[in-house]
Amino acid sequence: MTAVVERFYDVVIVGSGAGGGTVAQALAPLVRDGHRVLVLEQGPRFDDDEFTGRELDMAGALYADGGGFLTAQGTMTLAFAHAYGGSTLVYTGTSLTAPEHVIRGWGVPGLDHADLLRRSQRYLTENNVHLLPAEEINDNNRLFVEGGARAGYRVEQFPVNVKGCRGSSLCNLGCPNQAKQGTNRVQLPRAERDGVEIVTRAEVLRIEADRTLAVRVAAKPDGGKGRPSEWAPGDYRLRAGIVVCAGGVMGTTSLLLRSRLPLPRAVGARFTCHPALILVAEHSGPITNDVGHPKSYFVDRGAEQRFVLETCMYFPFTTAKALSGFGPDHTRVMRAFPRLQMILVLACDAATPGNRITVDGAGRPVAHYHFTEETVAGLVEGTRAAARIFFAAGAVRVHAPFADPPLIEARDAEQLTDRIAARHFNEGKVAISAAHLMGGCAMGAGAESVTDGWGRVHGLPWLRVADASLFPDSLEINPYVTIMALADRVAEAIRVDAPTLLG
Amino acid sequence: MSVLAAVQPSFRAIAATVVPEAGTLDAGGWMELERIVEQALAPRPRRLQRQLVTLIRAIEWLPLLRYGRRFTRLDPRRRARVLEVLQNSPLLLLRRGFWGLRTLALMGYYARPAAAASIGYRADPRGWAARR
């Protein structure tokens, strides 16, 4: 049996996504002051030429459970990545700042929207966020703009964080051209240049009250993608001055729950997400859909009707799974692939008491999630709005999972309110997935919170949280910029507290 | 170890009902489809693998009660009817089970490069340059 290797670091950051990558870069000045800063990432570091764009190949390499991580109820899949750069490898780079009404509604003492906006602006610049020029917009997005305007919706363009985008449309499988400016391209390389150490394939099993971390470094599997870990495979015991948990909602919350720490009782609570439906519509002729940036426009009805619509384009299996039913009708839609327009409907889901993260007997995360009437209503309203946009854009038929039968012809476009209804929502029959996971270690001041407004875990000043698990409720938009802004705050507090905590 | 080997004829009949084109696959096509499904199942817990096999067996034998024939002996219309009953079952457990089985069949069929090409999917890492 190999002996456990012991090491000491002043700061250990668990996770390298939008939160961990931001903290790593922001704490690099501590290295110049003689402190040792380490990032532990559960996933591997990929070489540029490993991003093939092949659906199962990349989904299996990047996502937890290949993207099919099921809730405990088995009625929704959750998508999150394990890799150098975390889920920033698999987003589409859409870069929105937190809505003012949401941050006000969170009511976190000391957290104000102006501060978040100021920090967000810095990362919008640093990560090259801009609007794509008109000549790079494909038909799938153009039809959304035209249909949205005709149907009376306010369509907005997504700022995106790309540089040298070639329009592969494969963002969600990891950009094969390294155009997305995630933490894997920007913050982590800078942190490494400044002396921050990053170790991949390193899973933190638990954190002890004496500030030690039990870490297991995995070997690269035969034939698997990604580089081997920077450390030899085996078990490690790391002593740390400060520990920053930034492993994402599932990673951070489950790590805290399986650690032997005197934690606030609220760990795991206030889990929420943006449950999403993929809708497709068929046009009479081919359109450019599987080329070009896939997600360039959106309609935000979060505040009014609790849904957001986004353009999207998915891959054959993902699309097939999203369609209702099976057999010849299902096949007919799939065979129309070059003529398909797609819209993603996201429900703005409020945190509710029953929805939470726990761990199973082996310490793995379990997401308990029940659809509320309000969430289903958001999905229904969003589906109706998407169908109106599809038809206004000239679609000949729309596939709506909340309709029975799901195919709605253009001649029935006046009956959308009746055809698309909550009575057709049948859990376990409709494919719903969520990629924007939030909560589990909520910021705040009362018993329902886990940290303060600077990510300090109540009662454990050496333990910090810096990812979307801090969100006390739904953000109602794509979250990565807000995660970076919050992580920037967490890092600032660490720099302030470092002399006390590190000596 | 193969999960599907013990129920291969039933699985193929179900897959060809979910995706009718699967019924036209040659031996190599079926091997590729089943390899994809086996790879997806391999890392899953043994308990889940056993539940899947049990569900496939149940789908094979339950039609005896209604039609007097096993699933693999039914015509396509009746096979579809059996699966529709599961898909619309009032029991979440059955709906979930069928949803998982349907997902595997769709994955096995549509994750094959030949199937992606046959439906006109043309995404390419070169993006716009590949279309010009």
Q: Give the amino acid at A462.
A: W
Q: Which chain A residues are Cβ-neighbours of B39 within 8 angstroms?
A: 56, 60
Q: Do B103 and A331 touch (CB under 8 A)?
A: no
Query: Nearest Cβ partner of B20 from A169, A331, A428?
Result: A331
How far apart (Å, rounded) are the C-alpha atoms in residues B62 and B82? 9
CATH 3.50.50.60 domain range(s) in chain A: 5-128+172-270+438-502
Shortest Cα–Cα distance, A306 to chain B (Å)? 26
Report the DSSP pairing between strands A272-273 and A234-245.
Answer: unpaired
How far apart (Å, rounded) are the C-alpha atoms in residues A385 and A372? 20
In sequence order, the β-bridge partners of residue A307 are A301, A347
Query: Nearest Cβ partner of B127 from A55, A75, A166?
Result: A166
Q: Do B127 and A168 touch (CB under 8 A)?
A: yes
Q: Give the amino acid at A488.
A: D
Determine the residue of chain A that is closest to B94 in CA distance.
A428
How many domains is chain B built from? 1
Average pLDDT over residues A224-232: 97
pTM of structure: 0.96
Average pLDDT over residues B88-107: 95
Q: Which chain B residues in 42-101 lie under 8 Å from chain A, judged by CB atoms?
A: 43, 80, 83, 87-88, 92, 95-96, 99-100
Q: Do A315 and B122 touch (CB under 8 A)?
A: no
Report the DSSP pairing between strands A307-311 and A297-301.
Answer: antiparallel
Q: Are A396 and A428 in contact (CB under 8 A)?
A: no
Shortest Cα–Cα distance, B37 to chain A (Å)? 11
Helix intervals (H) in A420-479: none
Q: Which chain A residues are Cβ-neighbours of B113 within 8 angstroms?
A: 54
Query: Nearest Cβ partner of A337 from B18, B102, B120?
Result: B120
- pLDDT tens-digit series, residues A33-61: 999 999 999 999 999 999 999 999 999 99
Task: Answer positive or negative: Cα dihedral of A65, A70, A76, A82.
Answer: negative
Q: Which chain B residues are Cβ-neighbours of A369 within 8 angstroms?
A: none
Q: Which chain B residues are Cβ-neighbours of A162 within 8 angstroms?
A: none
Q: Are A357 and A365 in contact (CB under 8 A)?
A: yes
Q: Do A66 and B40 touch (CB under 8 A)?
A: yes
Report the DSSP pairing between strands A212-217 and A234-245.
Answer: antiparallel
Select from A285, A309, A305, A315 the least CA-distant residue to A296.
A309
Q: Do B124 and A74 touch (CB under 8 A)?
A: no
Q: Which chain A residues are Cβ-neighbours of B43 within 8 angstroms?
A: 65
Query: Nearest Cβ partner of B115 from A286, A316, A330?
Result: A316
3-state secondary structure of A357: strand
How far apart (Å, rounded) are the C-alpha atoms in residues A318 and A401? 15
Angle between helices A480-502 and A18-26 (to 10 degrees): 40
Q: Which chain A residues are Cβ-neighbours of B77 within 8 angstroms?
A: none
Please list the helix, strand and coil fractions of chain A in percent, rounded to the nearest 5, in that order.
Answer: 35, 20, 45
Of all residues in chain B, the percent with pLDDT exceeding 90 is 95
Q: Do A327 and B80 touch (CB under 8 A)?
A: yes
Determine the residue of chain A that is closest to B101 in CA distance.
A321
Number of A:B CB contacts under 8 A? 119
The yes-or-no verdict on residue A278 having pLDDT over 80 is yes
Q: What angle do CA A169, A171, A177 make, to 5 degrees?
A: 85
- pLDDT tens-digit series, residues A375-416: 999 999 999 999 999 999 999 999 999 998 999 999 999 999
Q: Are A444 and A103 in contact (CB under 8 A)?
A: no
CATH 3.30.410 domain range(s) in chain A: 134-160+276-348+372-426
- pLDDT tens-digit series, residues A411-461: 999 999 999 999 999 898 899 999 999 999 999 999 999 999 999 999 999
How far apart (Å, rounded) are the C-alpha atoms in residues A58 and A415? 40
- Give one DSSP letter per residue of A285-345, joined into a string: S----SSS-S--EEEEEHHHHSEEEEE----HHHHHHHS-S-SHHHHHHHHTGGGEEEEEE
Q: Which two tokens stand for residue B61?
A: 């034998």
Helix (H) / strand (E) containing A368: strand A365-368
**pLDDT attached to residue A141:** 98
Determine the residue of chain A that is closest to B116 in CA distance.
A316
Taking phi over 0 as left and psi of -120 to 50 as alpha, with beta for the rest, A397 belongs to: beta
Q: Are A14 and A40 in contact (CB under 8 A)?
A: yes
Residue A3's pLDDT band (cuts 50, 70, 90):
confident
Query: Nearest Cβ partner of B119 from A73, A327, A337?
Result: A337
- Give one DSSP letter per residue of A19-41, joined into a string: HHHHHHHHTHHHHHTT--EEEE-
Interface predicted TM-score (ipTM) of this complex, two decimals: 0.97
3-state secondary structure of A157: strand
**pLDDT attached to residue A2:** 67
Select from A182, A141, A177, A183 the least CA-distant residue to A161.
A182
Q: Are A140 and A282 in contact (CB under 8 A)?
A: no
Kindly report whether the peptide bond that precedes residue A405 is cis, defined as omega within 30 degrees of 0: yes
Which whole-number Å values give the CA distances from A474 to A347, A423, A439, A452, A477, in the listed order?
10, 25, 8, 18, 8
Select from A346, A441, A475, A498 the least CA-distant residue to A15.
A441
For A391-459, list the strands marked E by DSSP.
397-399, 407-409, 433-434, 437-438, 456-457
Identify the residue among B17, B59, B96 best suited for mutation to test binding to A, counting A beta carbons within 10 A and taking the highest: B96
Report the DSSP pairing between strands A433-434 and A77-78.
Answer: parallel
- pLDDT tens-digit series, residues B34-91: 999 999 999 999 999 999 999 999 999 999 999 999 999 999 999 999 999 999 999 9
In sequence order, the β-bridge partners of residue A342 are A280
How far apart (Å, rounded) are the C-alpha atoms in residues B106 and B99? 10
Please list the helix, strand and coil fractions of chain B in percent, rounded to the nearest 5, in that order.
Answer: 75, 0, 25
Architecture of domain A134-160+276-348+372-426: 2-Layer Sandwich (3.30)
Shortest Cα–Cα distance, B44 to chain A (Å)? 9
- pLDDT tens-digit series, residues A199-220: 999 999 999 999 999 999 999 9
- pLDDT tens-digit series, residues A306-322: 999 999 999 999 999 99
3-state secondary structure of A198: strand
Q: Do B122 and A56 touch (CB under 8 A)?
A: no
Helix intervals (H) in B24-91: 27-41, 46-61, 63-67, 76-87
The yes-or-no verdict on residue A151 having pLDDT over 60 is yes
Determine the residue of chain A that is closest to B128 in CA distance.
A167
How far apart (Å, rounded) are the C-alpha atoms in residues A311 and A393? 13
The number of beta carbons lying within 10 Å of the beta carbon of residue B20 is: 16
The yes-or-no verdict on residue A75 having pLDDT over 70 is yes
- pLDDT tens-digit series, residues A321-335: 999 999 999 999 999
Q: Which chain B residues are Cβ-neighbours of A65 within 8 angstroms?
A: 43
The yes-or-no verdict on residue A1 having pLDDT over 70 is no
Q: Are A325 and A127 in contact (CB under 8 A)?
A: no
Query: Nearest Cβ partner of B119 from A54, A316, A431?
Result: A316
- Domain interval for residue B21: 5-130
Determine the residue of chain A that is closest to B88 in CA distance.
A429
Of all residues in chain A, the percent with pLDDT exceeding 90 is 97
Helix (H) / strand (E) containing A117: helix A113-126
Pick the CATH number of A5-128+172-270+438-502 from 1.20.1050.10, 3.50.50.60, 3.40.50.720, 3.30.565.10: 3.50.50.60
Report the greatest alpha carbon distance in chain B: 58
**pLDDT attached to residue A503:** 78
- pLDDT tens-digit series, residues B2-28: 999 999 999 999 999 999 999 999 999
